Structure 1
């Protein structure tokens, strides 16, 4: 395995003054920007700044060519054709476009039932609430106590009028993989559209997203060491038919009319480069994260921590735990300056509400109150685990 060089590791753990910063263990919220991606983004901001829609000069053609190549780079990870990739501002927009965009078709053919799960990201649950207010019947399947959704429960919820099934690939709070391939197999003989929120799995857990039964998949750039503000929606054809999406915005006709507006070429270039690197370095990155996880687990075991969910279903780069008799805020305060960790989704952390994911898993209240999410990457520098143990023992 080729280890990250000193220049590509998170050397930003030192501030300009030279004082050491906490080691960043919140990569499920956002990941650091790969320096090679930064170089690409800067080039298309500073030198090749043309509009991809301008056809009369070389600046526009260079921009267009880079967008075409980025589509190819993203498409290769999900085994699609480049023209099935629609660029968006991120996975949240992609989720909205997939779910709200299907609604007019469902209303037209009188299929208004949608299946999803209780552990989805708010970027799925809130559009589903909107659809429910519009008269759609939404079934939210509960997870097992292990944090994953039983495919049999999805099958039991299917109805002839089911328009879509929306399942996340990897849970953002627990890091637990969902059985996407099994659910895709269940839908083999059903017309429901399968949407996958792949924000946490794209470029990391590659095989499941390559199922030809997945119609729609939401992709985020900043979770794979690319820039914020860019993502994509896979719109895979069935035969010759694209998913019947209605756009949420109008004006300009870009992205096959599904997402109008001037294409952010620099960000698209960054997403393309990040996707290519994720594909090329997938094995090495997973091995680096697995080695780091070994130290995480050893430390947690010495603290008698409880892992939330089935440990054998977690990805190599994330885990959700609680330490007996300790509130999450107390632990984060004790580790301040040493580790940068979270106690839930970055999108809901300002609300200070108990995790809807952990509640759906029926965890005891004390575990929910003590829940901590640790998430890292192949770029994460070493941690002083002895100091971590010392600080936590000091507050017990």
Structure 2
């Protein structure tokens, strides 16, 4: 079978790669063509565009890059038509993927969506487009199945969360070896996860590293994104007690004592590694003011959303400042606070449904293709 996959972010590249591996087990003759990243490329197939060319952050940034986005949409349609796949698999990235899905449905292609757009957070009206343009939807958060089926009468498959597999299947690291190889000393680590896009990294790191000198018994380590060159981070490495590793986020989290994390998938990854965290977010003023008016959620982190309570502290916009961050970091280094958070983390993993998301999805996709 011929599979065309579209992922527009680092997390989509990870989940796309694991799905491709699982599809290969179901279909040894699988032929992949994709928009993604290095992880998908390592599995095999043909890369059309790397996600680093697609990632634009926030409302204002999207408007400023509208011309590039429209060119990419045109290229994608032309490339799909030339490849003529048996199925198109959309991985999150709704602003782009839903536009392609509308065109693809009109052209008669099979449209499968893995990792639902977060329409339960905002733009719930997109459900009309999804019901019209998506043949099969595979969701990874437990409350999404109820949202789609009970609220909108649209059947979906809850397959579990792929991060659980990605974390459990990784090669274990030896803390002493990791520290030695990366120029770190024996002090416990506070991991800094500032995101993957240049705009957000600059905003987040400036404040994250400001607290480093106040915790001299710990060393602070920036988790560099695979999509960015090390030279981009040089400005932030002149601060005493701040170190850097690149493309080793999971290894870093596996030996960290605490973490300061930019809101997004990384909050869930950090929780699954059982690392106490403070969730941070600061966008452009325009983007934030628009978001406040359209997003109807009590929380921004997936950890709190899934458990529907405050498990991790969220410092958003003006609350994300040196004073508050220092206070909250001290809290999660306190033994009692840590124990409470660990208990919630175990409940979180249980709610996510266990292992096998990639395999479950691959079996469902391949079964559908064989039957139709």
Task: Report the TM-score, using the length of structure 1 for normalisation.
Answer: 0.33
Name the TM-score, length of structure 2 as normaliser.
Answer: 0.35
